[in-house]
Amino acid sequence: PKTNTFDLTLKRVTLAPDGFTRSLATINGQYPGPTIEATKGDRIVLNINNELGEPTAIHSHGMFQRGTPWFDGVSGQTQCLIPNNYEFTYDFAVPDQAGTYWYHSHARTQYVNGVVGALIIHDPDDPYLNEYDEEILVILSDYHHVDAEILLKSFLSPASDGNEPVPDNGLINGKNNFNCSQAPPGSTCVDNAGLAKFEFVRNKRYRLRIINTSAFSAFFFSIDKHEMEVIEVEGTYTKRNKIHRLPINVAQRYSVIVTANQPVDNYIMRSEFQKTCMPDGAKNLSVVTAVVHYDGAPEDSTPISAPWKDFLEECIDLKHDTLQPLYDEKLPEATKEMELTIAFHNNSMGVVIAFLNESSYEPDVNFPTLARIFAGQADNLPKSRNAFTFDTVGEVVDITFINTDEGDHPFHMHGHQFWVLGSGNGTKVDKGALNTVDPIKRDTSTIPASGWTVFRFVPDNPGVFGIHCHMICIWHLQAGLLMQLIEFPEEIKKLDPPQAWVDLCNLQS
Ligand code: C2O
């Protein structure tokens, strides 16, 4: 197989993506970072050179890491941190995956400070290969002007009352304008920093790969006057279904086909904050925009503004009527059921923290679970490690989430995709509403506010894989919303982790 090598230097750089100057944690000086691209069957090698001034760990979101669980990049679970001024290499194969993914720091709040990038696996067997002429990458994000560690501190204080930090802005491909009159005195800020611009040629067909790298915000994505057809979600091909507005929650990805079938002109691309699931302070946020410029249209004319008006309920995923798998697959029968209840309560300090089944996750950064397994010290983990072990071959597990919280939670499972059998309102699962015929398979799915969702997955990947709310590191993950799935510890012990990985933990002691 071909090896695709990327040299990634993490370092602090002062940038002004939306005109407001701040220090960002960048990859090769860029925000978002460089795009990692490979073809199904390839190897990916990421040479990380950490010059951030603080330790890090890099996670390739959606990659299964079969046979290389030590390269999943999760601080406290699958590795000890990469110290400052240190190099570490991730090296993994993608034998059976293709689609739209991303990579990001999985250490504390770093990804919110900028350590994110797209990860695209091309597919020689893509059934839609002849249905589009070009690919376009669209990275959506919410954006803060204040360092994420400061935001985390205020979130985890009694004064926040559990309200997540409200973003200052949103970006498309790292760009947007900001009204500097709203910036605090003393800041360096210029108005009209500029919007992202996407070039269309009339009658060409584009595959847009859309990634939401936000810390907290769900969006509706759309292009005025242009329909789109969903063809992929997180590595799964879907039937072509026409939509106008695409709901996309934190860490989710979609591919859509858009045909440049409108008169030559400029059009607005929109990423609208879904405000019902945001704290009140978000009310003033405006729609994040970019420009779609047709070849031959004037460069600077005001883009045509004609927002799609279709009503969509906020803070839930696309439903099955527009999100069906392209290929038939026989769904295995469940052999085991687990229930995970999401709740937020005050701790003894008066801080609102998160619980899964009444236990709030606390990582052991210096002795991560995977290292413990190799050391034969993974029995009797403390309750706050939120660890659950699977060691029976052939198990098929239904995880039912009951969300007692008034906010929605986009949950991501590492090392796997899972089938979304259904979701709904209330705390009682409507078994009759579960789809066991053709559910969609993905890796990040929204548990609705005061609602439930059922995931089905097959534990068959020896390693330690987290399932967690992706309002990550921040805000809910730091607050405890993570469960570790330990799969086949005896098989893990037979694997041979690379010395460089073992050394990371030796460096700590
Ligand atoms: Cu995007 Cu735990 O991952």
pLDDT tens by residue, 455-476: 999 999 999 999 999 985 445 5
Residue labelled with tokens 């309750």? 383
Instruction: Give the helix/strand (H/E) hosting 117.
Output: strand 116-122
Q: In the CATH scheme, what is the code of domain 128-325?
A: 2.60.40.420
C-alpha of residue 160 to centroid of ligand 1, in Å: 24
CATH architecture for residues 336-508:
Sandwich (2.60)
Query: pLDDT digits over 98-108, tens only?
Result: 999 999 999 98
Tell me the two tokens of residue 59. 């996670």
C-alpha of residue 59 to centroid of ligand 1, in Å: 7
Tell me the two tokens of residue 115. 């350590």
CB 379 within 8 A of CB 364: no
Q: What is the model's pLDDT at position 508?
A: 74
Q: What is the model's pLDDT at position 473?
A: 45
Cα within 13 Å of Cα(168), Cβ side = 23
pTM of the model: 0.97
108: Cβ below 6 Å to ligand 1?
no
Residue in 207, 235, 209, 202 with CA at minimum distance from that of residue 129: 207
What Cα–Cα distance (Å) separates residue 427 from each residue in 270, 354, 430, 449, 456?
Answer: 34, 17, 9, 10, 18
Residue in 39, 20, 42 with CA at minimum distance from that of residue 31: 20
Q: What is the model's pLDDT at position 55?
A: 96
Quick one: three-class SS letters along 349-374? CCCEEEEECCECCCCCCCCCHHHHHH
Residues in the chain: 509
Given the CA of residue 111, which atom of ligand 1 is nearest to it? 1
C-alpha of residue 7 to centroid of ligand 1, in Å: 21
Q: What is the model's pLDDT at position 327?
A: 97
476: Cβ below 6 Å to ligand 1?
no
Separation between Cα atoms, residue 50 and residue 87, nearest integer Å: 6
Residue type, 253: R
Separation between Cα atoms, residue 292 and residue 283, nearest integer Å: 26
Tell me the two tokens of residue 284. 């003033």
Given the CA of residue 466, which atom of ligand 1 is nearest to it? 2
Residue labelled with tokens 């439930």? 452
Residue type, 29: G
270: Cβ below 6 Å to ligand 1?
no
Residue in 27, 6, 2, 3 with CA at minimum distance from that of residue 89: 6
SS3 181: helix
In this structure, which residue's CA is closest to atom 3 in ligand 1?
A: 61
State the alpha helices, DSSP H only, in 238-378: 369-374
Count the Cβ atoms, other than its own, within 10 Å of residue 362: 14
User: Which ranges in the chain are annotated with CATH 2.60.40.420?
Assistant: 1-124, 128-325, 336-508
CATH architecture for residues 1-124:
Sandwich (2.60)
Q: Which residues of the chain have pLDDT under 70?
A: 472-479, 509
Separation between Cα atoms, residue 462 and residue 72, nearest integer Å: 12
Q: What is the model's pLDDT at position 1?
A: 87
Tell me the two tokens of residue 124. 């020689």
59: Cβ below 6 Å to ligand 1?
yes
Given the CA of residue 104, which atom of ligand 1 is nearest to it? 1
Q: What is the model's pLDDT at position 445?
A: 97
Q: Which residues of 177-211 are buried (b: 16+ CB within 10 A; e: fewer)?
A: bbebeebeeeeebeeebebbbbebeeebbbbbbbb
List residues bridging with 353 in a β-sheet.
Answer: 345
SS3 160: helix
CB 469 within 8 A of CB 409: yes
468: Cβ below 6 Å to ligand 1?
yes
412: Cβ below 6 Å to ligand 1?
yes
Tell me the two tokens of residue 482. 């993570």
Tell me the two tokens of residue 391. 């060691």
Separation between Cα atoms, residue 363 and residue 338, nearest integer Å: 22
Each as own residue / partner, the long-range contacts of residues 278-285 (CB below 8 Å, 24 or more positions apart, any chain) are 278/164, 278/166, 278/216, 278/217, 279/163, 279/164, 279/166, 281/163, 281/166, 282/166, 282/167, 282/217, 285/166, 285/167, 285/169, 285/170
33: Cβ below 6 Å to ligand 1?
no
Going edge to edge, which strands form the sheet with 219-223?
A: 197-200, 288-294, 266-273, 219-223, 246-248
Which residues touch 459 (CB under 8 Å, ≥6 apart)? 390, 395, 397, 485, 487, 488
